[in-house]
Amino acid sequence: MEDQAVVLNKGEDIIDLPPGFRFHPTDEEIITHYLTPKVMNNRFSASAIGEVDLNKCEPWDLPKKAKMGEKEWYFFCLRDRKYPTGMRTNRATEAGYWKATGKDKEIFKGKGCLVGMKKTLVFYKGRAPKGEKSNWVMHEYRLEGKFSYYNLPKGAKADTRQCKVEQFSSNQPSMVTLSQDTGLSTEINNEISSRNEIGSSKTYEEDMEDLECLWDY
C-alpha cells in the first residue's frame, strides 16, 4: 500500500504533511517547547496539540478532537480541582475515571535540571472501587523545578497540563524479558513493567524507539 500524506486539522485550515511525518516529541521537548509556553501565556497554541476538558470527554472521543495523530493524541487541558480549596484533582467523566498507576517520572533538561513530571493514568469504566480497567492510557505532564506551582510568576496558568492519550492492546508479546539479565537501569525496567502491565499496541521496534531516550541513564 502506498504511503499517504498525513492531514493536520488546524481550525478551519488543512495542512498536508509529507508521508511518514509523525509528531513524536520527547518528554523534555513537551515540557520545554509546549507546556511551559502554554502555562506562561494561555493564548499560546501549537499546530499539533488540541485543547479539551478531560472531565467532559470520554477517552474514545478524544481522537476525533485531536489536531493530528494515529496512535497517540496530544492535548492541553486544565486540571479540575475536586474541591475548590484543595489540591486533589477530579479525574471522573460521565462513563468512568482516570486512575494513576506507578510513580511519577521526573523529567530533566540538560545535566540534572528538573523541569517537569509525568504521571501515567489508566481509564476505568464505571465508578471506583469497582471500575473496569480499559485499554486507554494517558500520560499527564506538569511543570516542576524552577517552574513548579509555587515558583510561577503572577498571571501564569499553574493548573495547565499537557496530556498524551494512547489506546493499547493486550495481544502483543510481553516486553518483560527485556529486563531479565540485561543490566538495564531501574528507570528502563520500570517503563517496561508499566507497558507490560498496561499492554502495548505498538510493535517491538516502536516500543524500543520510545525507550531509546532512557538508554543513557
The domain spanning residue 125 has which CATH number?
A: 2.170.150.80
- pLDDT per position as a tens digit, 114-137: 999 999 999 999 999 999 999 999
Q: Does the residue 201 lie in any domain? A: no
CA distances from 62 to 67, 121, 172 (A): 10, 15, 23
- pLDDT per position as a tens digit, 33-62: 999 999 999 999 999 999 999 999 999 999
Q: Does the residue 78 lie in any domain? A: yes
Q: Does the residue 53 lie in any domain? A: yes
Q: Does the residue 81 lie in any domain? A: yes
pLDDT of residue 20: 80
Q: Does the residue 3 lie in any domain? A: no
Per DSSP, the residues of 3-23 read --PEEEEETTEEEEE-TT---
Residue 18 clears pLDDT 70, i.e. is over it: yes
pLDDT of residue 126: 97
| Local confidence band at 143 (pLDDT 50, 70, 90 cut-offs) | very high
Residue span of the structural domain in which 76 resides: 23-190
Q: What is the DSSP letter of 148?
A: S
Phi, psi of 43 (to 5 degrees): -80, -10
Q: What is the mean pLDDT of the chain?
A: 79
* Structural contact between residues 202 and 172, judged by C-beta atoms closer than 8 angstroms: yes
Residue 88 clears pLDDT 50, i.e. is over it: yes
* Structural contact between residues 136 and 123, judged by C-beta atoms closer than 8 angstroms: yes
CA distances from 133 to 93, 102, 137, 206 (A): 14, 15, 10, 24
How do 96-100 and 72-78 pair as beta strands?
unpaired
pLDDT of residue 4: 41
- pLDDT per position as a tens digit, 170-206: 664 433 333 333 444 445 455 555 555 555 545 544 5
Q: Does the residue 156 lie in any domain? A: yes
Indicate the number of domains in the chain. 1
* Structural contact between residues 94 and 53, judged by C-beta atoms closer than 8 angstroms: no
Q: Does the residue 85 lie in any domain? A: yes
Q: Does the residue 207 lie in any domain? A: no
Residue 163 clears pLDDT 60, i.e. is over it: yes
